[in-house]
Amino acid sequence: MKNLLVFLVLPIIVVVLTFFLVNGIAEPVRFENGKKYREDRTVERLKDIRDVQVAYKSQYRKFTGSFDTLIDFYNNGTLKIVKQIGSMDDSLAVAQKLVRRDTVRESVRQNVPLRSVTGSADSLRYVPVVGGQFEMDAVVKRVSGVDVPLFEARVSYDRLLEGLERQFVVNINADIEEINKTLTVAKKYSGVKVGSIDQPNNNAGNWE
C-alpha cells in the first residue's frame, strides 16, 4: 500500500514542482517581453510628440502643454519653409541671378511625418496599448539669464505596465528610487519620457 501511494503521489509532486519551476522562469521573460513591446510603441509615440512640439516652437517660439493645441496645430497649421529656386551648381543661372530662396507656407502634416499614428494626429495624446493620456507640460525657464522654452511628455511605469505582473513593476520603481537617493540632480524617472521641464536636455528621451 505504501509503495502504491508513493507510485501514485510522487509523479504528481514532480509535475507540480516542474510547473512552478518552469513558470518561475517563464514569468520574468513574459514580463520583459511585454515591457519591451509597450516601451517600443510608447517611444515611437513620444518621438512623434517631440517632432510636432519642435515644429510648433519653430512657429511660436515656445512649446505647448496642451494636446488640443498641439493636435490642432498638426492637423490645421502651417510652417514657413525656405525653398531654393534653381541650383547653385548651375553657374549660368547663378550669374543671371536666377537662383534664389523663397519662403513659402506648407502644412505641418506635409512636413512632419508621424511614425505612430496614421492620418490625423488625434491619437498623439494616448499611451499605446494601455490607453489614457500622456502627461505633458511646457514652461519657459530662466537659464543663465536667458528664457529657455522647455517641454516634457511622460508616462509612468505604474501606468505603462498596468496589467503585467505587479511585483516586477514594484521592483523597478524600488530600484529607481534607490538610484535617485544617490543623485542630487537629474533624477531618473520611473517611466518613459521625452524632454524635461527641469533643465534643458535638447528634448532628449530618457531611452536615448
pLDDT of res. 103: 77
Under a CB-based contact definition with an 8 Å cutoff, are residues 75 and 114 in contact? no
* 181 falls within a domain: yes
pLDDT of residue 19 exceeding 50, the answer is no
Q: What is the pLDDT of residues 110-129, one digit of tens each?
A: 999 999 988 779 999 999 99
* Mean pLDDT confidence for 49-56: 98
What sign for the dihedral angle of Cα 144, 145, 149, 150?
positive
β-pairing verdict for 100-107 and 135-143: unpaired
Q: Give the type of residue at 41.
A: R
Question: Considering the domain boundaries, does residue 208 fall inside one?
Answer: no
Q: Can you give the residue range of the structural domain that contains 115?
A: 2-195
If one counts every other C-beta atom within 10 angstroms of the C-beta of residue 47, the result is: 17
Mean pLDDT for the stretch of residues 176-184? 92
Q: Is residue 158 part of a domain?
A: yes
Q: What's the pLDDT score for residue 80?
A: 84
187-201 burial code (b ≥16 CB/10 A, e <16): eebbbbbbbbbeeee
pTM to 2 decimals?
Answer: 0.81
24-41 mean pLDDT: 90
Residue 73 belongs to some domain of the structure: yes
Max Cα distance, the chain (Å): 109
Residue 121 is assigned to a structural domain of this protein: yes
Ranges assigned E (strand) in the chain: 78-85, 100-107, 135-143, 146-156, 191-195
Question: Per the structure block, which three cell numbers stand in for 73?
Answer: 496645430
- For the stretch 133-143, pLDDT in tens is 999 999 999 99
Banded model confidence at residue 81, pLDDT cuts 50, 70, 90: confident
Domains: count for the chain: 1
pLDDT surpasses 60 at 132: yes
> CB 75: neighbour CB atoms within 10 A?
14
**Is 207 within a domain?**
no
- Give me the pLDDT at residue 125, please: 97
pLDDT of 152-164, one tens digit each?
999 999 999 999 9
Q: What is the mean pLDDT of the chain?
A: 87
* 93, part of any domain: yes
Query: Is residue 205 situated within a structural domain?
Result: no
CA-to-CA dists, residue 60 to 74, 81, 168, 187, 202, angstroms: 13, 15, 42, 30, 18
Specify the 3-state DSSP secondary structure of 157: helix
pLDDT(9) > 70: no
